Structure 1
Amino acid sequence: MTHRPAHRPAPRSDAPSRIGRPDVIAQAHARSLEIGLRASETPDFQPLRRPALRELVGRNRSLYTHALPVMETLHAQIVDTQSMVLLTDNHGVILHSLGDSDFVEKANRVALCPGVSWAEADRGTNAIGTALVDGQPTVVHADEHFLHANRILTCSCAPIADPFGRTIGALDVSGDTRGFHKHTLALVRMSAQMIENHLFSNQFADAIRVHFHARAEFIGTLFEGLAAFAADGTFLSANRSALFQFGQPLAELQRQPFDALFGIPFAGLLQQIARTPGESILLTLPSGVRVVARGEYAAPRYMAHGVASDDFNFNGTARAPLSGGARHAPRAVDPAPLATLETLDTGDAQVAAILRRVAKLRGRDIPILVLGKTGTGKEWLARAIHHDSPRRAAPFVALNCASLPETLIEAELFGYEDGAFTGAKKRGSVGKIVQADGGTLFLDEIGDMPLAQQVRLMRVLQERTVVPLGGTRPIPVDLRIVCATHRNLRAMIDEGTFREDLYYRINGLVVTLPPLRERTDLAALVARMLALQPDSEHLPRRVSAAVLERFAQCRWPGNLRQLANVLRTASIMAEGAEQIELDDLPEDFLQDCADVTDVGNARWAAAGPGNDADVSGAVASVQQGGAHTVAPARMEDWQAKLIAQTLARLDGNVSAAARELGLARNTVYRYLRRGSTAH
């Protein structure tokens, strides 16, 4: 028996459909009756006092921190609809709310505010309590609420799970019944999933993660599957999308080896990441479904032979091996310098000029901004600047602004007081700025720092003090700052995504590192990297002339980092030999080099640089009579143009385009990503 009117008016056309839902509501009403609630009663719901609410938020700090920016985005999507966004803990107690001012008063009348429990036991059938009981996204509209007092509301709620599938809270949008929209629940579900993905990335920041989906365009989006593995290949967890794609519960996945989940050995994935970091590969799920996947190392990155795969150390030391399955805190302070300005000078004129300019600032705390593409050695230069300064005995502290979820950058950079983050350090954290006191703070990918943190950083640089989160006492700091980015900060200033005042604070001297393909010291770099290899005396210390010639033909999109990874893998393959031969190089790398040579030389051999008419003819011949176009001036642009045109003609079929062009699928995917980044 339920507490609905016997003769209820027909629902409006935009009211939630009852098809497939009556049982959920009926069962929830039955539970409300069993508890002993009466539909007509108005219970006294006294919110938690401020100290108790602060304590509850503290116990849910991770959920609260990751949810706040998502709640703000969600609220912006539903603004002016007489509604509010609510975050609760796993018991249904509201932790935080964001609402339209014209709805807050009405919400307060039904105790829809922080510190109040909306569990079914307290409020009867309602979206928050019922979603937490059922573990499913739920809509409870108008008179579907058990208590008459709550029937002024329409509510859409989705539970939030931690990275191990345990429900830790709920996200809800509640509003006036007249403002109901059938798409609200979809927005809430997507927002809850976004929070879950942020929590997942934070939990497994030091793990090896596989991003995958049956459709390549969904990699890097909210809908991608995420699976995390320890250094020895042990399955750790998977996000909601991954569980759906696997079609298996988490407990079942935890009993399966990597090759059973993805169809290749775990060592194969590690080798692929080392050879072509950031590239996509095809894997096979247990169901037989083929998915596009991208593996990534965390910080510190892992190698198959157990050594962290940060770029080759210029002082010849190796990082300690990592034990399987253990979580490691990100390395903040490295007392051992990896490079000096002298060791970085390996014969390239552009680099030598940069080093001379930087050397003139030795002993002066002028901020330096290092520009350059990913993998060009920006952190090497920052470490060399630190080592060759009077601060060399103090810490060098690095933070990659692009590697942390937006909501964690503030805590990592500025620190937090005791108890601010339950589940983290019980005594708080001093933060990277204070850790660098007396030394050098290196902020990599400064262009990815959120605007709110840019404001706080600007204040630190002006006042030379920092106030940790949850603290009131400013801490004085004395440090030098070196920043790096691959982004165009001036363009970001024009777009309003980077603060102009901060830009002029960090660019006392600006230097731009050249990409590897433009350097003239490739042979010297190879020799230096091989000479400084750690581990075994049986690893070769040189490459053959054929290998060096092949290296000279490659574009090196991953720059020095890619070269280091290729040499490390090839060295292992050639263990015991005197030198590295072509057969020792990773197959994907050889194929990519061949692609560049084949497309650049064979397909446009007759055209020649600068001959637009001939190039257009070559492109048109491949298009089988398509319209002539003027080719771009650079070889890589010719390649991209031909690939794009072939894909368009083949309706986006990557495999067919790769076969027709004689390229590896990875090469086609790479050009697709490059094109999307450019636009």
Structure 2
Amino acid sequence: MPPGHAVQTWTTPSALPLARHPARAELIEQSHLRCAALGLTRVERPDFEPLLRSDLTIARERNQRLFAHAAPVMEMLFEQIVNTESMIVLTDAQGTILHSVGDDEFLARAGKVALAPGVNWAEQSKGTNAIGTALFEECPTLVHGSEHFIHANSFLTCSAAPIFDPRGGMLGVLDVTGDQRSYHQHTMGLVRMSARMIENHWLSDDCGNRLRLHFHSRVEFIGTLLEGILVVGADGRIVGANRSALDQLDVSGAALRMQSLTSLFGTTAAAVFDHFRAPLPLPMRLCLPNGRQFHVNARFSGAARSMALGLGSDEPAAARGAPPGVAVPSPGAARLPSPAADATSAPAGLSALQYLKTGDAQIEATIGKVQRVLNRDIPVLILGETGTGKELLARALHQDSNRARQDFVAVNCASIPESLIEAELFGYEDGAFTGARRKGAPGRIVQANGGTLFLDEIGDMPLALQARLLRVLQERCVMPLGGQKAIPVDIAVIGATHRNLREMIEAGSFREDLYYRLNGLVVRLPALRERSDLQAVAQRILRAECPQDPPRISPAVMALFERCAWPGNIRQLANVLRTAAVMAAGEPQIDEQHLSDDFLEDMRRVPAMTARAAARIAEATPETAAPMVIETAAAPPAPAPAEAARTLGEAEIEMIRRALEAANGNISVASKRLGISRNTIYRKLRWGRAD
């Protein structure tokens, strides 16, 4: 089954995979029938005749690029399963094992059934097994114990996932094999995630000089392994995609390559570039013909951006007004463009920090503080709730600094698997992984050399890596994995977190010395409910969504906004306004009927409202105010400041609980409606207050 079609997946409720899902049982049965038709018997002796050394060398050289992308993933996947009597196997598209890594004792046991480099494990050679059956079915496959056709292999449990190139061609298979007694139901998930990581690296390498759209229906998933990636050619046609893109768009790779940006999303490459010319642009909102919406970020690297717009390469970037180049990130990492590539990425003379000012005294004070340390080599630590704009502030700091002509490299420490973040940050050298013969990778810190390194969610960095990061910040040198020589780096460091790092220090989960290395200047971004510029922020979001003719916000709607606790902060407000802007398309004003029903229902359940909101309701026309009836006479007297703070926090928790009730306890649905992450919901409900 080619990528883009419904992928067959199975979950096992316990460590007894023999209680199979009917679809998986049928898959195993069909494989057994094929093996019997091939003349294999269940008592076949293992074939101990691997490829000749010279032939294996040729096979490896033919698949060197696959191994270059797979080797670091295999090594770090092995860290997840070490000491579990397991091994990781990489095969080519014919099922021949190219490389393996695993526990020494289990490698010896696997060798007794010829599970070793140079041996072919296609079905016609080894009967039903995860590698061969995954190749035949072209989907992730689990084969456990006696489900193997050949009895000699029944001590194994195998989870395999195929690896595809951007055009849907089979590259090979990644497999984790272990003793069937050590079976774990999460192994398949790790294998599938790792296979997709290899595919994404291949896609980035394959299409590095083209416009790429990174998208997801939930904005917080952009920059993770769940994001879809589309590669756009010079004529606007789609020339490649990763598997997540195919799954989200529900099309095959062949069908997608017949589409263009215009037929798929109703836009053009030029429109995408125009959107990202703005300083600190928000993700675009693009719609499929069926109305389904996605958040989209554009990425581009190299000086050949004219290819994406169909322009001559001799035309200066500034004359074209093209957006700056951005390299495709690894999972959890993103890179801001270099203004050296485009002098017009922001309006002339406009400071990015000044652009963030919208009238709130707290924001202006914060911006004043960071401006005073600009270009002083003082690290900045940004605190604040999820969705308050910590990365926007970090990007603005970079753009206004002397480092703006170099890269801004953002690493989300919470979204990269713990086993991968070390290589992502510090890079790795030639030969750092088993049998490697490739160029290695520099790592995000080296990529930020001369520019700015933004460590988002620094509180989620594993403790062991905190020591290595501290050493880099102290010595300004990076030692890649497997390297013998340190690489000097010149970086500005900005950290951000929603966590209380002082409490983490007391609990022993964050290093105190790293904390004091990062907090040269600590600033806290206020929650949206604490800001006085809600209307200005809302209007700016609308101008970004509807640059030609942004609608106004009616007084009644504005009163509702001021009454809302906004647990998702600016991100939640943006989600509400984007939906309202679509509903009010062609109308001059956003009224209550343009707001989503779940938001209105949540607001009806908020027990109190501010005097400012009541005044705005009173100003509203009867037609505007009619859909929402609020008994202002029964409103309680204005509370004391401490009581008001408690009421807002309680209202926020109440809104989350109501959203969960309306979603029948489905946290994913509730988080989407509120515009906040699942982790934020867990955290706020766990503590029973707004943090």
If the TM-score is normalised by the length of the shorter chain, which range does it land in? 0.5 to 0.7
Determine the C-alpha separation between the residues in 1 that align with 2:169 and 2:262.
26
Check conservation: 1:280, 1:294, Cα contact below 8 A. Answer: yes
| Secondary structure at the counterpart of residue 60 of structure 1 | helix
Does residue 638 (structure 1) correspond to residue 651 (structure 2)? The answer is yes
Picking from 441, 447, 459, the partner of 2:453 is 441
What is the Cα deviation at residue 161 of structure 1?
3.3
Q: Could you say what secondary structure the match of 2:135 adopts?
A: helix
Question: Would the aligned equivalents of 2:121 and 2:131 in 1 still touch at CA under 8 Å?
Answer: yes
The DSSP-based 3-state class of the residue aligned with 1:398 is strand
Q: Is the 8 A contact 1:373 1:515 kept in 2?
A: yes
Aligned partners of 1:240, 1:252: CA distance in 2, in Å?
A: 15
Taking the aligned partners of 1:394 and 1:225, their CA distance within structure 2 comes to 28
Residue 395 of structure 1: which of 403, 406, 410 is its match?
A: 406
CA distance in 1, matches of 2:393, 2:36: 66
How many angstroms apart in 1 are the aligned matches of 2:246 and 2:534?
41
Gapped regions of structure 1 (runs ≥ 5) = 1-12, 213-218, 271-276, 308-315, 612-630, 659-664
Deviations along 1:564-601, one digit per CA (max 9) or x if unpaired, are 899999999999x9xx9534999348984795377444
CA contact (8 A) 2:427 2:481 kept: yes
For residue 636 of structure 2, what is the amino acid of its counterpart?
G
Of 633, 636, 640, the match for 1:608? 636
Contact 2:428–2:440 (Cα < 8 Å) also in 1: yes
Distance 1:363 1:210 in 2: 36
2:500 equivalent to 1:488: yes
Task: Give 1:93 shift.
Answer: 0.9
- Compared CA separation, residues 29 and 157, structure 1 to 2 (3 A): farther
Which entry has the higher C-alpha Rg, 1 or 2?
1
Distance verdict in 2 for CA 1:236–1:634, change over 3 Å: farther
For residues 463 and 377 of structure 2, the distance between their equivalents in structure 1, rounded to whole angstroms, comes to 25
1:450/1:47 Cα in 2 relative to 1: closer, same or farther (>3 Å)? farther
Q: TM (normalized to structure 2)?
A: 0.62
Structure 2: gaps (5+ residues): 1-15, 205-210, 273-281, 301-307, 310-317, 610-628, 687-691
Structure 1: distance between partners of 2:367 and 2:637: 33
Structure 1 position 194 matched with structure 2 position 193: yes
Distance 1:397 1:604, change over 3 A: same
SS in 2 for 1:207: strand
Report the CA distance shift for 1:283/1:365 in structure 2 as closer, same or farther (over 3 A): closer
Q: Offset of 1:343 from its aligned partner?
A: 6.0
**Cα deviation, residue 331, structure 1:** 3.6
Shift of 1:455: 4.5
TM-score by length of 1: 0.62
Q: How far did 1:369 drift?
A: 0.6
CA contact (8 A) 1:318 1:535 kept: no
Aligned partner of residue 339 in structure 2, secondary structure? coil
Q: 1:562 to 1:111 in 2, by over 3 A?
A: same
Aligned mates of 2:138, 2:353 — CA distance in 1:
58
> Structure 1 residues 472 and 60 mapped into 2: Cα distance closer, same or farther (>3 Å)?
same
Q: Deviation per CA, 1:87-124, whole angstroms, max 9, x where unpaired?
A: 4443331523333x653432344443456554457656
Counterpart of 2:132 in 1: which secondary structure?
Answer: helix
Task: Tell me by how many angstroms 1:438 deviates.
Answer: 4.0
Counterpart position of 2:68? 61
The answer on whether the counterparts of 1:332 and 1:398 sit within 8 Å (CA) in structure 2 is no
The sequence identity of aligned pairs, in percent, is 35
CA distance in structure 2 between the partners assigned to 1:439 and 1:245 by the alignment? 36
- Structure 2 distance, partners of 1:479, 1:62, is 27
C-alpha distance after superposition, 1:484-514 (max 9, x if no partner): 2333334555676654443332122211111
- Matched residues in 2 for 1:130 and 1:168: separation? 15
CA contact (8 A) 2:457 2:497 kept: yes
How far 1:250 moved relative to its partner? Answer: 4.8
Q: Does 1:158 align with 2:160?
A: yes
CA contact (8 A) 2:554 2:589 kept: no
Give the paired residue count.
Answer: 583
Tell me, yes or no, if structure 1 residue 516 matches structure 2 residue 519. Answer: no
Distance in structure 1 (CA, Å) of the matches to 2:88 and 2:508: 27
- Check the 8 A contact 1:345/1:351 in 2, yes or no: yes
Residue of structure 2 aligned with 1:170, choices 170, 173, 178: 173
Letter matched to residue 368 of structure 1? V
* Matched residue, 1:310: none
Q: CA offsets, 1:163-197, max 9 Å, x none?
A: 654443334444457x386xx6x544433333345
Equivalent residue letter for 1:128: I
Q: 1:40 to 1:355 in 2, by over 3 A?
A: closer
Q: 2:469 aligns with which of 457, 460, 482?
A: 457
Change (3 A) 1:16 1:596: closer
- Secondary structure of 1:365's match? coil
